[in-house]
Chain A
């Protein structure tokens, strides 16, 4: 629950706090001073009256004993000059007044009965009673009446002074709290207005200007740090959004390419299948020239394998994205893998018109996934043939720095330096889809496989002069993994 004090402005609160502190402290001290003053005044009075009463007692015994009222009156009158004494009365042992002094200007009288000894407050008066003894026998009583009017007047004057001081202090506190407010709350107000500007303009580049005071410095620093953080977060969000947009655009591009790529082999496949169907229906299949049938089936087979390799690539990408690329490591010689792949390509070589040269150094066995390595070599060789413009292609194996090294070099199209990093990403291509078919997945999958083998892949290329892709595969694996390997290597 919020009190009205809680809702008040800092200025009001500060003023209230300061004024109440000042008034409380001063009021307390003032009251204390008055109390101490009044009690010491009363104390002083009492001391005075007591010593006076002793004098009167010794002076009055004889007069009392001989019932000399005149002498008693004279005695009392002689000490009646004391200012605070309003009246003094002497009673004999029967309680009759036998001597008295009354200050004429004061409206005070002797009490009719002497009463018991001691001090008594009656209205504005202090009655002090003393028994008068002669040879240990009570012969009378002295009653002295002190007038406290003056003491009260003094206290009243004190209260007046303190009230005036309190008033002045309140004014001073009010003025001072104004100053204090300027020191304390104006930086806060400036900070608040900065915060409002930031919210209103949605501009996190604004910064609060520095203020003095340890807490304010802290607050401003944290405020600015917070703004910086918010700005950072905004930029990061913007970047992620851009990334997501890019990814969507890439995926959309891919979808159109993929559908085109997948459909390309299907149309000839369909027409070939229909041709064969017609031949079967007309029972002319047996009479169809065998070399033409062979070439027909050969085309069909190529289209099918193209389709299946496209589908394989897509499956691989899905697998890699899902983190399910598992390697079946066996002892493998890199040279053997390259030779096998190259031999498998021999039938298609003519199609590209490129000479493929093998320069295979004998490289140590490594623990690799053979099928995946074949995929690597296939992808790189396919690219070299595809983008090699019919110029010679060289496949090279060697050993270097504890790794098996494979280079695939062509003298064709080359890759622009700005695209060189990009081509290893998913769906990224540096050529137009019109001229060269492809999903832009080959290099992506290749790099994923190489990295799964803890290896690396790089490109050196000059546009128009050809490209060289280099793959390095470490011959020894990281220590901890090597421990639990089957001892397959002799």
Chain B
């Protein structure tokens, strides 16, 4: 009897975990959520924000499909106790007023230019290209089957004066 219950409960557990793995969310949605979650485990230098009423700026290339997803998902949300302001930018815009710069969707050349413009600025850069960390980007995402993993360029983060929580670092696939 007791053993039966145990076995059944194990089965329930397995089913539950499978369900979570095969999430019904799209990869884009997961990336949106991750971007927001990263911001929750990272501290920006205090001088980044002007007044307490300033929004939390998340910047995304205007032409990418993810920009619309973000707009839909982030509306009304808060992070670091600030309202999220989503800025859809082009390569030529100044990205330095962003707290988070999601750079996937920019062409290779454009991404490099933006990254070099942001070097040393307190902006969390997120990208998906497998070179992103090496190019000086802070967080690099990677598809691994149904999961999405990430790696961190700690050097770039330190230059940008971002303090990344050890909890986040523990989850990283790789910390450079």
Contact = CB atoms under 8 A, between A and B. Distances in A.
Q: Which 4 A-B pairs have the closest CB atoms?
A: A109-B9, A62-B167, A107-B2, A65-B37
B159 to A, nearest CB: 23
A420 interface: no
A71 interface: yes
A22 interface: no
10 contacts: A62-B165, A62-B170, A66-B34, A67-B23, A67-B147, A68-B171, A89-B13, A97-B13, A109-B6, A110-B13
Contacts of A68: 171
Interface stretch (B14-22, B65-73, B92-100, B121-129): B14-22
- The B interface, classified by DSSP as helix, strand, loop or mixed, is helix
Interface string A59-76: 101110111110100000
Given A62-B168, A67-B20, A96-B16, A135 B78 contact: yes
A97 B16 contact: yes
B79 interface: yes
Contacts of A135: 40, 78-81
B146 to A, nearest CB: 10
Given A65-B37, A97-B12, A108-B6, 20 more contacts: A58-B167, A62-B37, A62-B167, A65-B40, A67-B147, A68-B171, A69-B20, A92-B20, A96-B16, A96-B19, A98-B17, A102-B10, A109-B6, A109-B12, A109-B13, A110-B12, A134-B37, A134-B40, A135-B78, A135-B79
Contacts, number: 69
Interface in B43-67: none
A112 B171 CA distance: 27
Contacts of A63: 167, 171
Q: How large is the interface on A (under 10, 10 to 19, 20 to 34, 35 or more residues)?
A: 20 to 34
Interface of B: 2-3, 5-6, 8-10, 12-13, 16-17, 19-21, 23, 34, 37, 40-41, 78-81, 147, 150, 165, 167-168, 170-171
Interface of A: 58-59, 61-63, 65-69, 71, 89, 92, 96-98, 100, 102, 107-110, 112, 134-135
B171 A66 contact: yes
B10 A109 contact: yes
Given A62-B171, A107-B2, A112 B12 contact: yes
B13 A59 contact: no
Instruction: Find the residue from A67, A71, A92, A134 having the highest chain B CB count within 10 A.
Output: A67
A97 B18 CA distance: 10
A65 B9 CA distance: 25
Nearest to B10: A109
Contacts of B6: 107-109
Contacts of B78: 135
A107 B5 contact: yes
A110 B14 CA distance: 12
Nearest to A97: B16
Nearest to B36: A65
Nearest to A62: B167
